[in-house]
């Protein structure tokens, strides 16, 4: 089984913001694979289904971003998921808008949601899909920037990034992280 976690903040106020690109990607995967994300447990909304014959859980933590690790840790412990089968999708200000980067492990960088997950799992050895949202303008606070919605120039780039990220996640589930990185980290 693979656990696919999209990071974001719950509530309509945050729905289409840069910080919620993980939720947006999970929703796209759910739509593509006819999975209903409608169970509430482990401080998350969860959908169960399959990709390429492999059982998956689609997860949207409902703890707010900075406490995402609470939900992820509960799920990993409850389902006894090996960390190589945990995939986390999140926004990254260090990548240009729409750029997708797949990694088998690594630090949290500037991302507080990832920092909390790594801290609570006491481990950073799990795959992640980072989606670039670009750096904030110098006059803007980082927290305010990631809570903005995509502008008209960013929207098509982000729609493409969501599709690419979903395809990369499908590849990770079917063929492994190395195959996905070789195919999508270009």
pLDDT of amino acid 43: 97
Angle subtended at Cα 110 by Cα 71 and Cα 177, rounded to the nearest 5 degrees: 65
pLDDT of amino acid 12: 92
pLDDT of amino acid 60: 98
pLDDT of amino acid 186: 81
**Nearest-CA neighbor of 108 among 124, 94, 131?**
124
pLDDT of amino acid 109: 87
Cα-flanking dihedrals φ and ψ of residue 75, to 5°?
-70, -45
The CATH code of the domain that includes 83 is 3.40.50.1470
Residue 33 known to be catalytic: no
Across the 186 residues of the chain, what is the mean pLDDT of every consecutive 10-residue run?
97 94 98 97 97 96 96 98 97 96 93 96 97 94 93 96 98 97 93
Range of the domain at 103: 2-184
- Of 19, 33, 42, 111, catalytic: 19
**Nearest-CA neighbor of 72 among 23, 113, 106?**
113
Report how many domains make up the chain: 1
pLDDT digits 0-9 by tens, 125-174: 999 999 999 999 999 999 899 999 999 999 999 999 999 999 999 999 99
- As beta bridge partners, residue 40 has 45
């Amino acid at each position: 089984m693979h656990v696919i976690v999209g990071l974001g903040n719950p509530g309509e106020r945050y729905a289409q913001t840069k910080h919620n690109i993980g939720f947006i990607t999970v929703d796209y995967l759910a739509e593509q694979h006819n999975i209903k994300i409608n169970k509430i447990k482990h401080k998350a909304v969860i959908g169960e289904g399959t990709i390429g014959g492999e059982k998956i859980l689609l997860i949207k933590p409902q703890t707010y971003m900075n406490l995402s690790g609470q939900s992820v840790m509960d799920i990993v412990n409850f389902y006894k998921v090996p960390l190589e089968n945990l995939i986390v999708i999140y926004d990254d200000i260090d990548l240009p808008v729409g750029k997708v980067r797949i990694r088998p492990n690594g630090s949290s960088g500037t991302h507080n949601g990832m920092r909390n997950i790594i801290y609570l799992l006491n481990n950073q050895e799990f795959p992640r899909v980072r989606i670039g949202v670009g750096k904030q303008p110098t006059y803007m606070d980082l927290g305010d920037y990631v809570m903005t919605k995509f502008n008209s120039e960013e929207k098509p780039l982000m729609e493409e990034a969501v599709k690419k990220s979903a395809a990369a996640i499908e590849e990770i589930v079917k063929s492994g992280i190395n195959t996905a990185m070789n195919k999508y980290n270009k």
